[in-house]
Amino acid sequence: MSDYIYPVARLIESFRRLPGVGSKSAARMAFGVLEMSEADAEEFRAAIKGVKEDVHRCSVCCDLCDGDKCAICSDPERDGGMICVVEDPRAVSALERSHEYNGTYHVLGGVISPMNGITPDKLNVKELIARLNGDVREVIIATNPNIEGETTAVYLSKLIRPLGVKVTRLAYGVPVGADLEFADSETLARALEGRREF
């Protein structure tokens, strides 16, 4: 039996389904909604409804957008000869915050993970390959540096290289401001592998 009346328990359970939200956080959010004014609660409801109805995938890069194409694919100033392949839309936002990349993106929608039933055909791989026309000179693979990310990177590079397109991988290593003595051996190994001329 729940500690809360049904409508509150239902809202808590709904929040708990969100990634990274535990029972206590879900309860705090539910009570936060209860304390909202009617106008704020209606705006909250409209925002949830709107994101489900108005957000879809870009017809070019598979990122989130509210039109046919996302702002990046629609921008004529972006370098269409470079495609940075990422796992999800959050990675696009993270890379954009760096202000160092002016190419385009391709969102896979996940990574290869046979244990979780995610095979290449369940990702946006066909859409990526279809984009590799004569104008694309480089594909930067920016999947996470874990087993699934590495597996996906290797799979993509084997598909792309025969098409005559340069394939690169993001360098990983010691973060700025970190002490070498506290870095783990895998991070240090990647930092050494990704070293460049100074």
CATH number of 42's domain:
1.10.8.420
- Say whether pTM exceeds 0.85: no
Domain with 38, as residue range(s), is 6-54
**Do 139 and 165 contact (CB within 8 A), yes or no?**
yes
β 56-57/64-65 pair status:
antiparallel
Q: In this model, does residue 36 exceed pLDDT 60?
A: yes
- Give the model's confidence band at 1: pLDDT under 50 very low, under 70 low, under 90 confident, else very high: very low
Q: How confident is the model at residue 188 (pLDDT cuts 50, 70, 90)?
A: confident
Q: Encode burial over 94-120: b for 16+ CB neighbours within 10 A, e otherwise.
A: ebeeeeebebbbbbbbbbbbeeeebeb
Q: What is the residue type of 48? A: I
Q: In this structure, are residues 108 and 123 in contact, taking their beta carbons and an 8 Å threshold? A: yes
d(CA 84, CA 94): 12
Do 33 and 112 sit in the same domain of this protein? Answer: no
Contact 65, 56 (CB under 8 A): yes
Q: Cα–Cα distance between 191 and 198 in angstroms, integer?
A: 14
The pLDDT mean for the chain works out to: 91
Looking up residue 122, the CATH number of its domain turns out to be 3.40.1360.10
Residue pLDDT, tens place only, 166-175: 999 988 776 7
pLDDT in tens, 134-146: 899 999 999 988 8
pLDDT band with cut points at 50, 70 and 90 for residue 194:
confident
Query: Higher model confidence: residue 49 or residue 198?
Result: 49
The angle that helices 23-35 and 6-16 make with each other, rounded to 10 degrees, is 120
Whether residue 35 is contained in a domain is answered as yes
Helix (H) / strand (E) element for 2: namely: none
Residues 44-59 have a mean pLDDT of 95
